[in-house]
């Protein structure tokens, strides 16, 4: 059982960081929990869990301002030890405009040493600690609604377990990296680990089959995707509850001709919103055709 303190105001967060620096604590273990289009529209930071080597903390981003979070996460003096920070860095970059700074990602070390598994496996491999959470409970917590308050105790314990062993792993992996003369390689990768590799790509280009589609199919997919996204944002629901991804691809490859043809694809959409969606898809079809004509 992890004992923790809750940080639910700008003042508490500022005081915590100040107390760390006064004690000479300049490195913390950190992880995020987020919402990724599972329960509402969009991606949202829901929780930051922290371990300073002695105490555990839960930072509630719903109670702490964007400015305070930015100051904390961009603090160049405070090292944040994480595991696989890429998605977390992207989340705060897109949601808050925060450039996560001074990150030590132990996954970089693990990859350099040939390990490609997850954090639980790494903990068991090097610390001999077998996670008590089963695959079923792990999946349950990964699919849980982190937006809800108050959080359940099992959610909190699950979240804190992801930061409990990061310091120990860092020490062990750093020693192994040095033994194998990989420190320079790791340091070079670590320098830019929390930075984007390039401009964020539009979501419709991330479909697995995107690279195999022709120009016409890509154009229709983009406009159908935007129509679905607009509906999902309006009703604040996950986009999949409006129209499934495979339906978008099917329509892009064989563009429906009439409104009735579009209806066939809209079985997932709530009944009282179907007509609105069909109208938007019809307009999206026209916009795509206009773009192709003007190209």
What digits encode the pLDDT tens for the residues 223-244?
999 999 999 999 999 999 999 9
**Which pLDDT band, with edges at 50, 70 and 90, does 200 fall under?**
confident
Q: pTM score, two decimals?
A: 0.90
**Which pLDDT band, with edges at 50, 70 and 90, does 295 fall under?**
confident
User: What tokens does 17 get?
Assistant: 């960081």
47 — phi, psi (to 5°)? -160, 140
Mean pLDDT, residues 6-19 taken together: 98
- Can you list the domains of the chain with their CATH numbers? 4-190 (3.30.420.10), 203-294 (1.10.150.80)
Q: What is the pLDDT of residue 132?
A: 56
Q: What is the pLDDT of residue 199?
A: 86
Question: Is the pLDDT at 134 greater than 50, yes or no?
Answer: no
Q: 78-123: per-residue pLDDT in tens?
A: 999 999 999 999 999 999 999 999 999 999 999 999 999 999 999 9
**Which pLDDT band, with edges at 50, 70 and 90, does 131 fall under?**
low
């Amino acid at each position: 059982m992890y004992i923790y303190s809750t940080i639910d105001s700008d003042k508490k967060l500022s005081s915590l960081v100040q107390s760390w620096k006064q004690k000479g604590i300049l490195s913390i273990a950190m992880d995020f929990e987020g919402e990724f289009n599972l329960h509402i529209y969009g991606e949202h930071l829901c929780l930051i869990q922290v371990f300073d080597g002695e105490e555990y903390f839960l930072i509630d981003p719903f109670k702490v301002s964007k400015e305070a979070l930015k100051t904390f996460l961009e603090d160049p003096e405070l090292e944040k030890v994480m595991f696989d920070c890429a998605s977390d860095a992207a989340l705060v970059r897109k949601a808050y405009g925060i450039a996560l700074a001074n990150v030590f990602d132990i996954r970089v070390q693990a990859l350099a040493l040939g390990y490609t598994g997850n954090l639980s496996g790494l903990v068991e491999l090097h610390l001999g600690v077998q996670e008590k959470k089963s695959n079923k409970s792990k999946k349950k917590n990964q699919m849980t609604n982190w937006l809800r308050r108050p959080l359940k105790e099992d959610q909190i314990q699950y979240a804190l377990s992801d930061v409990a062993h990061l310091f120990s792993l860092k020490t062990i992996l750093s020693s192994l990296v040095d033994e194998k003369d990989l420190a320079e390689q790791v340091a070079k990768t670590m320098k830019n680990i929390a930075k984007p590799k390039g401009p964020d790509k539009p979501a419709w280009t991330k479909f697995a089959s995107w690279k195999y589609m022709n120009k016409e199919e890509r154009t229709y997919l983009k406009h159908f995707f935007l129509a679905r996204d607009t509906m999902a944002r309006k009703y604040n629901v996950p986009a999949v509850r409006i129209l499934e991804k495979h339906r978008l691809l099917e329509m892009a490859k064989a563009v429906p001709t009439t409104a009735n043809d579009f209806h066939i694809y809209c079985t997932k959409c709530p009944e009282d919103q179907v007509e609105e969606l069909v109208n938007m898809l019809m307009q999206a079809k026209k916009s795509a055709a206009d773009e192709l004509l003007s190209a």
